[in-house]
Chain A
């Protein structure tokens, strides 16, 4: 077979290329020909097809994502915004933090262990590429129905993959979520987030500049794994009629990645790196075109110099390979020897594969022949942009009219007790320790808080106690009922969780998981959710620093619930002042902060007791969220509260159960009149315990601080209602029921192990 060189392509305009098989649409292929003024070579086609895939180009989402920039709140905290590998935020004392959440949904369904493992690997390389030492990971997960046999295949594999990779990297796993819902059956969501810490001066960017600078590829050899993964796996809906795509999932080697972290950080410390890019989706195609596109000049690369695991790979395959644990650095010529020496010290293979040129072309050679000659911007940044049609689905009205408030409620105290036990033992509300105990949460020795706390918290400075907190949240049920509000509720909950731990929310990253953008109803959900999130971030003053869009999470006609997952990052001046969720001291007073309304749409209660989804989600009041956060942060800083727990799915009763079990102390609850007003004591208790009104938290206040705390709430206008006291070894709601902690613990601990047994 003759090599398809640039010259050859110019001479043979009529040769048909498999553009459709590679995922390009007809008009997209026409555009490639237009850009090049000839037909592409096979290698060029490989690059365009993979870089113009939905996963890499954001072609369906780009026009909407712009809102995050246009509505960005004024802030001094943002050092690097959207568009780089990850956003960077100033946390003071000269420290900067980079963080991001990404999806690895499709691969994790095909091959749960490797899909999830390489998801962690990918996000961690994004963090390293910014110049930071990774310090923690989090893992928001969505699985199918808890009792479905396939959930038993996917969940243990995903958890083992996240643990197997993250534990071996030495990154504490400090948070995340696990939510079950039948809508995720064929499309589980495996999102992975990571945080990194650096000094301001260590921030690095992905660009190739300085004519004559060398391009160094280092890390693992390039193999045949994951070829076409981005374009084929992530950008098409699963369809039974197509052949198996199993080989397109990559295989991870966390040991290699650990070496990559250490050797990259050592190279940074010696100021050897001009620009850097990790190799993830689209492998070398992405790294070379993005580095060149962001830089000032062009780039020349020799593919013959790429170390291979399989010598039979074609140049197209080398360009598309998604072999893991590889990075690409731009290094000045006189520093190359030192860079290679550091790689050698860490047993990391490193090879010069090209250099920055003074032109504006990306040229790639194979056996001395030019097989790629493109303007890198057309590959990396000027891909197709779609204005997909969107329309509010016709079923939305009926869904919202199906009010959960009309569902039958418990008629007696006994029934209320029964429903409490059923709720807290349900898969979504049960203890997740079966999962989190498989993750190392102590490594690096800076973990201040980890699951099941409201947010994970890491100490950044041993000297001053400066720390960061992160929480991830997203409720697909709420978002299905009202995408705009649902996205804001995800933001509000994550924001609240960070504040409940005592940290000040600074910025967010998001992972937007949706169905097919080719379905106008899904596209409407997506557009509404982005609008809600952008408006919410503007109002709360928390900019979006970056994130990820995962579309095509759907099997046939059935899309997942729209699931925007929001990660809020916060800062705390001294981690010694953090607030845990556990009730630890008997006699402390319990206060409910915020307003409780009759809000059951999308609630855990409506799901667990009635298998119902309908109505409207809880109302959002972001000014109230901001006030609540200020009170929680002040209360923590000034020693007025010893424990705090945000209220979200499962309402007050879920929060009380978690705080009691975490601290090992019971609570005696006396629900005051006025919290609900039906006149029926059991119904009032039901509303107080199960409603999911947003903007609420429960706090434990030492008696000596009660007056100071209630004065503060009164002065600032935040409703604070005394609801009981930390006491005994049961959760007692006076006049209704008392449940021993031992029973609650047993019920909550047994659920997940039973599901995977």
Chain B
């Protein structure tokens, strides 16, 4: 008996098939979820993958957050279901206010694609238990709207509560406040980050690294032992 992880496809989602593959490589069952369908098909967790949903028109994630599937996801996330938002998925999560803050255009105004070093700051979330505290990992980053911002009180709160999950190392690629690459909600079940763990699960492709696999093995352990 394995766990079922839903992967949402919005119009303009790009990394849905890659995310399904990463979920399968970790030993989980990947369940495609369609943006118009409220039914979550009894999944145990959900990943919102990267891309340019609705072309990022208006503002990244701003339209997707109103889709029918998100109504169910917001409800379930509040009830404790693990949710991971990657890149555009992270942007959607901030638009829903499941996570605080917002993403601005990168401070250098260009799209950036690079192999990014991160430090794992919190290994107690649903998606990070397979890492060790302070572990340095390397996974691809690719976005144009990746600059994490929030008001000072929110950022202080995130820091104080240990809710900064990932921090950029060596290079801050987009001007994010305090090098923040990913955060979690207070309960630790909802995590969002800009870099792409699903692109670092197979040594034959991408950068050849497999540091992204930990996200998916973490959730597998959590769901199967639960």
A residues with CB within 8 A of B: 160, 163-164, 167-170, 253-256, 258-259, 346-347, 436-448, 459, 462, 465, 575-576
B204 within 8 A of A: yes
**Interface digits, B117-151 against A, CB 8 Å rule (1 contact, 0 not)?**
00000000000000000000000101010000000
The reply to whether A447 and B110 contact each other, CB–CB distance below 8 Å, is: no
Q: List 30 A-B contacts (CB under 8 A).
A: A160-B110, A160-B111, A167-B142, A167-B144, A168-B56, A169-B14, A170-B15, A255-B55, A255-B57, A258-B52, A259-B12, A346-B11, A347-B11, A436-B113, A440-B113, A440-B142, A441-B113, A442-B142, A443-B15, A443-B18, A443-B199, A444-B14, A444-B18, A445-B21, A445-B202, A446-B205, A448-B205, A459-B205, A462-B21, A465-B204
Report chain A residues within 8 Å CB of B205: 445-448, 459, 575
The reply to whether A168 and B113 contact each other, CB–CB distance below 8 Å, is: no
B196 within 8 A of A: yes
CB distance from A694 to the nearest CB of B (A): 31
The reply to whether A253 and B112 contact each other, CB–CB distance below 8 Å, is: no
In whole angstroms, how far apart are the Cα atoms of A255 and B144 in the complex? Answer: 15
In whole angstroms, how far apart are the Cα atoms of A673 and B142 in the complex? Answer: 48
**Interface digits, B58-96 against A, CB 8 Å rule (1 contact, 0 not)?**
000000000000000000000000000000000000000
- CB-CB nearest in chain A for B196: A442
The reply to whether A443 and B14 contact each other, CB–CB distance below 8 Å, is: yes
The reply to whether B114 and A168 contact each other, CB–CB distance below 8 Å, is: no
A-B contact count (CB 8 A): 88
CB distance from B116 to the nearest CB of A (A): 11
In whole angstroms, how far apart are the Cα atoms of A440 and B113 in the complex? Answer: 6
The reply to whether A437 and B113 contact each other, CB–CB distance below 8 Å, is: yes
B221 within 8 A of A: no
Report chain B residues within 8 Å CB of A462: 21
CB distance from B118 to the nearest CB of A (A): 16
Report chain A residues within 8 Å CB of B57: 255
In whole angstroms, how far apart are the Cα atoms of A575 and B57 in the complex? Answer: 37
In whole angstroms, how far apart are the Cα atoms of A439 and B205 in the complex? Answer: 17
Chain A CB within 10 Å, residue with most, of B57, B112, B199: B199
Report chain A residues within 8 Å CB of B207: 442
Query: Residue B18 contacts which of A160, A253, A259, A445 (CB distance < 8 angstroms)?
Result: A445
Report chain A residues within 8 Å CB of B114: 437
The reply to whether B199 and A442 contact each other, CB–CB distance below 8 Å, is: yes
Report chain A residues within 8 Å CB of B140: 442
Residues facing A in B37-68 (CB within 8 A) are 51-52, 54-57
In whole angstroms, how far apart are the Cα atoms of A170 and B87 in the complex? Answer: 13
The reply to whether A168 and B199 contact each other, CB–CB distance below 8 Å, is: no
Known A-B contacts A442-B196, A444-B17, A444-B18; the reply to A576 vs B54 at CB < 8 A is no
The reply to whether B12 and A445 contact each other, CB–CB distance below 8 Å, is: no
Query: Residue B111 contacts which of A258, A440, A448, A465 (CB distance < 8 angstroms)?
Result: A440
The reply to whether A254 and B113 contact each other, CB–CB distance below 8 Å, is: no
B198 within 8 A of A: yes
The reply to whether B142 and A447 contact each other, CB–CB distance below 8 Å, is: no
Report chain A residues within 8 Å CB of B142: 167, 440, 442-443
The reply to whether A445 and B198 contact each other, CB–CB distance below 8 Å, is: yes
In whole angstroms, how far apart are the Cα atoms of A447 and B142 in the complex? Answer: 14
- CB-CB nearest in chain B for A253: B55
- CB-CB nearest in chain B for A255: B55
Known A-B contacts A437-B114, A445-B21; the reply to A168 vs B202 at CB < 8 A is no
Report chain A residues within 8 Å CB of B15: 170, 443, 445
The reply to whether A255 and B12 contact each other, CB–CB distance below 8 Å, is: yes
CB distance from A61 to the nearest CB of B (A): 36
CB distance from A464 to the nearest CB of B (A): 12
Report chain B residues within 8 Å CB of A169: 14
Query: Residue A442 contacts which of B17, B52, B110, B113 (CB distance < 8 angstroms)?
Result: B113
The reply to whether A575 and B204 contact each other, CB–CB distance below 8 Å, is: yes
Known pairs A168-B56, A443-B199; list 8 more (Cβ under 8 Å): A170-B15, A254-B55, A437-B110, A442-B142, A445-B18, A445-B21, A459-B205, A575-B204
The reply to whether B206 and A447 contact each other, CB–CB distance below 8 Å, is: yes
- CB-CB nearest in chain A for B112: A437
CB distance from A165 to the nearest CB of B (A): 11
In whole angstroms, how far apart are the Cα atoms of A438 and B108 in the complex? Answer: 11
Chain A CB within 10 Å, residue with most, of B18, B111, B205: B205
In whole angstroms, how far apart are the Cα atoms of A169 and B52 in the complex? Answer: 8
CB distance from B143 to the nearest CB of A (A): 9
Query: Residue B204 contacts which of A346, A444, A448 (CB distance < 8 angstroms)?
Result: A448
Query: Residue A168 contacts which of B12, B17, B110, B206 (CB distance < 8 angstroms)?
Result: B12
**Interface digits, B1-44 against A, CB 8 Å rule (1 contact, 0 not)?**
00000000001101101100110000000000000000000000
In whole angstroms, how far apart are the Cα atoms of A446 and B111 in the complex? Answer: 21
The reply to whether A459 and B55 contact each other, CB–CB distance below 8 Å, is: no
CB distance from A565 to the nearest CB of B (A): 24
- CB-CB nearest in chain B for A156: B110
In whole angstroms, how far apart are the Cα atoms of A347 and B12 in the complex? Answer: 11
CB distance from B19 to the nearest CB of A (A): 9
Report chain B residues within 8 Å CB of A168: 12, 14, 52, 55-56
The reply to whether B204 and A258 contact each other, CB–CB distance below 8 Å, is: no
Report chain B residues within 8 Å CB of A444: 14, 17-18
